[in-house]
Structures are given as structure tokens and as C-alpha cells.
Structure 1
């Protein structure tokens, strides 16, 4: 592995992590923010919901811009918007202004969802792309592993507004890392045919491309299962099982470690067996773990240990699902990689938000409704995999193996 390969993974991983870091650090502050600003729980939760909504909408515009103007200018713009919005959120006098600046934060950080995937496709395909994607995810893993604990410490020591000052500093550091650590991967010579008209045509083409949509939704259902866990796990582990917030943060981190550790072998598996076979294997393992865990808990064995083991194993397999489906979905769309990455990001976010809302209707601070939502996502991912890849000729797998 070359130093340049690792440098690109570090830069892209840190840029990708800024938006999620701002979410994960922020979660422990929600009750405090409501008390400080005199806002209802629903109003405070809206400051979180608008971030996910901007993650869903922002990529549709970010992708074409990255194809038209290049990768780095769009990343620069996103980091500047994110940093300014973070300053605004830190100084927000009421919850309405906080919601507004959180919306801008989400729009700025949506560049980190889209452009790094396009950069990976600019540089590599097949097994090499999967290796780079998995390395990017390893760096990205700093968010769910460290952010909850870091956020709790910052909030206790300096108050909730300090969270936004912290992510402002992170955005500034990412700006300079981008400046000196990454070359433009879409030079002017390759942008000649790019425009918003071409982008919308690309969206139309991709939206009826069975394999692209299927693979994007498989990844989206994996993301959705994690969104269901994200929205409900703190209430279940703290309120139902009686664990402390610090213990919850530790369990949250353990699942993240499982996800990102297993993702690191995705490149090796792809090189050896091909993308399509690895996707099938990963989704089957993900679905089997989550459905088996749900069945055990539905039978009355709803202990914390059963839930933790199920999630640890299931999210380990998900660590293979996300990078491989992302690479395989974009394999044939190099000329519109930014547009493809944007639509994929939107499909992931929309699927996740819908699952989170539906699961929220049935939530009751007990583990079974959450595990049911996760199992449904896993089962649908398996069904979609069987439908999407059943007639694949294996061309990508052969190319990757070669």
C-alpha cells in the first residue's frame, strides 16, 4: 500500500466524518439545549431531523457541481458553509435560529457524503476501489467510536455550544488537509461535457438502471437499519436495561468497531472472489444475523446480551455490504461518477429517514420494536439482493479477480 493511497484515504475519510461527527457529538446535548433555549423536545429534535433532510436533498446538487467544477472546489465550498453554519449554531439565540443553522450545516457537510465516493471512482475501480473505500471508512469510523464520548465530555465541561465550536475547528483543519493533501481528480479536460442538463439526464438514466438502483437500495437498507438503531438505542439501553450513558457510549462504539474492522477485509475478499459474490455473501450474513437475533428476542429471550451479540455480528457483515454495493453500483458510471454518487447518497438517506420515522411510530423504549425494524431492513436487503443480482453475468467479478 503506497503512502499516496493512504494519504487520500485519510483526507477523504476525515472530510466524510465531519458531518456525522457533528451529529454524534450533538446527541447527548439534546435535553440540555431544550432547557437552555426554552424549547419543546419536538422543536429540539427538528434541529436533528433537518440535518438528515439536507443530507437527502443536498447530494442531488452537490454531485453535478462536482462533475462541472471539479471535486476540490465543491469540497472547499462545503467546508466553508459548514464552518460558518457551525459558528451560527454556536451563537444561536433561540431554537428557530439553531434549526436554520443546522440545516445549513447539513447542506455543507453533504459534500462530504458525495464527493469522496466520486474521487474513489475517479482513481480506481474493482478491488482497488474497494480497498480505498474500506480505508476511507476506517478513518470515517472515528465519528461513531469517539464522537459520543467526546461530545459528552465537551458538554459537561464547556456546555452544548462548545460542540459547535469544536466542529468548526475540525472543518478548518479539514480545509487545509484538502488543500495540501489531495490533488484534483477531475481535471478541466474531463469536465467539458458536464452540465446540470447532463446531470438531470444522468439522474433519469440512473433511476431506471435496475442494477444501480437495486444496489443503492441494498446499501440504503443497511444504512436504514443503523438509523433505526441510532434513533432508539439510547432510550432502550439507558431506560429499559438501566445502563449508564457512558456504558451506552461504549456499546455504541463496540458496534462501530465491528462494522469498520470487518470492512477492512472487503478489498481482499473482492480481489479473491469478485464484487458480486462478496455482496451476496455479505447481505446473506447480515440478514441471517439480524433475523436470527430478532427471532430469539421475539421468543422471549430479550436480554441485553442477546441484543448486543446480534448487533455486533450483523453490523460486522454490514461493514462488507456498504463499500461493496457502493463500488459495484458505480462500476459502469465513471463519466458521471459525481451524479451517481449523489443519487446513491440521496437513496441511502431517504431510505434511512423513512425507516427511522416508521420505526419511531412503534417505539416504546423496549428492544423488540427496534429489533423488528432492523430485521425488516435486513430481510428486505436480502430479497432485493436476490432480485438485483440474480441475472448478473459476473463481468464485474471477473474483471475484479483479474
Structure 2
């Protein structure tokens, strides 16, 4: 059982990581792109937001499509689009062209984000699903841990354009992996009733399910708080605190280690205490740490060490929240797992893009706007968790787990 979980996590994690690799590898290049294409911070961040928005929009298509035609064909199509978009980004003569091709690149990347979550639901539910999701995130962690370091190295050797040639190669490798190793988990007989009409009905069902939406929003604001760090950390750590792109990459990786490391405990902790209690408790810890960091910043404690230490602890708590809330959100929707996964992913990236856009209006060269945005997201997630997860079904489940 364990070896089968590890094998599935390796394949799904690598496919899932291709899109985020194009985000994390890109982060150290943002200041360089700003200078190279003669633009400003807001405009260069739009290239990141365009990727987020297309990731969100595209998942609405790929999710139902994977319910209709199976899990593998959408992955093939998405990786081809991603590769074409990456080539366009590598050859972009100006920031506006780069933004357009980043949007196209995101439309392809989202296939690798939404379909693996649906495959997890196809294969397992409950604590086994939580274990597989956490293992998938362990493999997925190759992106936030290694991508910034790889990106800074590529920038030094081949300029920022080399980043996009590198991810083009990753997409080609993903295609080979999907074609030769990945197994179809949506048999033909399960696709009979899946069509455009059923997809629209599925979205209508999900949008009426307040419990599902509550869990999706917990996950979305958790992810958005990480996006706030993604979009602003290179400017804060490089320009404000004076780190080199390489040192920034190490600093970024440290927080990713906390997030991914904590995620590995979701299966065991969920089995012992219940996934709902785990989410409720972890989100409290996350909000307390982030509010403490904001308070220190507002009090004038502008220390890189304090910032990194509290972000490390906070993102450890977040590593327990996101995979657990995602598993709970998909738990009751196995027949439309692709569509449910798509709406979950769309909400995550749209929420993330909106949060990044709002924070961008308050950028002042310090860490305060970034930290304020992260803290605000943590508070919203806390309120949603306390409201959504007080359901009787979870109280009973937690009592059984405690026994």
C-alpha cells in the first residue's frame, strides 16, 4: 500500500509541479525583467497575475473535461499549450507580449494542477486520500524548494529568458511521463453520463453546497496568503533587505520546507484527531503567528530574522490546513471529482490574484503591505474554519477518532 501511494505521489507530484515551477523559478527574475523590459513593479507583477488568473479560468474547463474524456487527454493537451506559451515568453520583446504569453502558459499549466487532485479522489477517500495528498505535496515541494535556486542559476548563465526554455523542457518531460507511466483512473463506463449539460449541473450543485464552498474558501484564502508572499517576497527580500537573488532563493526555500514538512503529518494527525479538528486548530495557530508578525512590523521591528522565523512557523501551520481542507472539500463529490477539483483550483487562483492585486496598491518598499495581506488572509481563513467545521458530522467523527 505504501509503495503504491509513493509511486502515485511521485507521478502526480511531478506533473503538478510543472506549473508552479514556472512561478517559483520566475520569482528571482522579477527585478531583472523589470530592468530588462524597461517597466515598473506593478506591470511586471501583472505577468505573474496573468498566470494566476489563467490558471484559475482554465481549471473550470479541464475539470469537467477530465470527467467526460478521462484524466489523461486533458493533461496531454495542457502540457502542449504550456510548452507553446513558454516558447512565446522566452522570445517576448516587451512586457505586454510577455503578459499575453504568460496567460497562455497558465492555460496549459492548470491541467497539471486540477487533474491530479481528481485522480487522488478517484483512488482514495478519507485519511488515505490525505496521506496521498500530503505525499503528492512532498514531491510537489521540488518546485518551491529548488525552482528559485534553479531560476537564479539560470539567470546568471542565460538571462531570465533561459527560465522559459527550461520549463519548456520540463513540459516535454511531463508529456513523456504522462504517456508512458500515468494510468487512467476514470474508466469509460464512468464517463457515460458526463457531458456539457452534466458539467453545468455539477457546477450548479457545487455552488449551492455551502459546506463545500466553505471548505474551498478556507483553502483559497490559505493559498492566497502564500501567493501574497510569492508576488512580493522578491522585492521585499532583494530590494528592501538587500539579499542577492541566490540568497533570496535560499530564504524562499526555507519557508517551503516548513510548509511541505508539516503537510506530511496530515495523514497521521487526521487519523488521530479528525481532519476537521486538525484544520480548525492549525488555522488558529497560523492566524496567531501572522497577526504577531504584523504587530511587530507595525511597531517598527523591521528585522529580516524575525520575518523569516515567524513566516517559517506560520507556513508550517498552513501546511496542515491546505491539504486537509482540500480533501474534505472533495470528500462528498467523488462522481464529479474533476469538476469539484476544478472549482476548488479556480477559487484558489482567483482569490490569490485578487489578494495580490490589492496588496500591489499599497506597496511602499517595506514588508508591511505583504505581511498585512498575509495576516488578513489568515484571519478570514480562521473565521471560515470555525463556521464551516462546527458541523455535527465532524463532532461525531472526531469522537470516534479520539476513541
Q: TM-score category by the smaller chain?
A: over 0.9
| CA distance in structure 1 between the partners assigned to 2:150 and 2:44 by the alignment | 21
What's 2:385 paired with?
385
What's 1:120 paired with?
120
What CA deviation, in whole Å up to 9, does each residue of 1:284-308 have, x standing for no partner?
1111211222223333333222211
What's 2:16 paired with?
16
Q: CA offset at residue 396 of structure 1? A: 5.6
What's 2:312 paired with?
312
What's 2:6 paired with?
6
Residue 361 to residue 42, structure 1, CA distance change in 2 (3 Å): closer
What CA deviation, in whole Å up to 9, does each residue of 1:58-88 have, x standing for no partner?
1111111000000011111111111122223
Aligned residues of 1:126 and 1:396 also touching (Cα < 8 A): no
Q: CA offset at residue 400 of structure 1? A: 7.6
What's 2:183 paired with?
183
**TM-score, normalization: structure 1?**
0.94
| CA distance in structure 2 between the partners assigned to 1:140 and 1:25 by the alignment | 14
What's 1:202 paired with?
202
1:253 matched to 2:256? The reply is no
Q: CA offset at residue 346 of structure 1? A: 0.8
What's 1:92 paired with?
92
What CA deviation, in whole Å up to 9, does each residue of 1:148-174 have, x standing for no partner?
111111121122222111111111111
Matches within 5 A, 1:189-228: 189-228=189-228
Matches within 5 A, 1:83-162: 83-162=83-162
Q: CA offset at residue 281 of structure 1? A: 1.5
Matches within 5 A, 1:4-83: 4-37=4-37, 42-83=42-83
What's 2:348 paired with?
348
Stretch moving more, 271-280 or 111-120: 271-280
Aligned residues of 1:270 and 1:401 also touching (Cα < 8 A): no
Residue 96 to residue 244, structure 1, CA distance change in 2 (3 Å): closer
Stretch moving more, 151-160 or 103-112: 151-160
Q: CA offset at residue 342 of structure 1? A: 0.4
Residue 277 to residue 232, structure 1, CA distance change in 2 (3 Å): same
What's 2:285 paired with?
285
SS of corresponding position for 1:393? helix
| CA distance in structure 2 between the partners assigned to 1:155 and 1:240 by the alignment | 21
SS of corresponding position for 1:183? coil
Aligned residues of 2:89 and 2:102 also touching (Cα < 8 A): yes
Q: CA offset at residue 2 of structure 1? A: 3.2
**TM-score, normalization: structure 2?**
0.94
Aligned length: 402
Aligned residues of 1:126 and 1:399 also touching (Cα < 8 A): no
Residue 11 to residue 399, structure 1, CA distance change in 2 (3 Å): farther
Stretch moving more, 30-39 or 19-28: 30-39
Aligned residues of 2:28 and 2:234 also touching (Cα < 8 A): no
Q: CA RMSD in A?
A: 2.0
| CA distance in structure 1 between the partners assigned to 2:401 and 2:333 by the alignment | 16
Q: CA offset at residue 54 of structure 1? A: 0.2
Stretches of structure 1 that go unaligned for 5 or more consecutive residues are: none
SS of corresponding position for 1:362? coil
What's 2:276 paired with?
276
| CA distance in structure 2 between the partners assigned to 1:287 and 1:192 by the alignment | 45
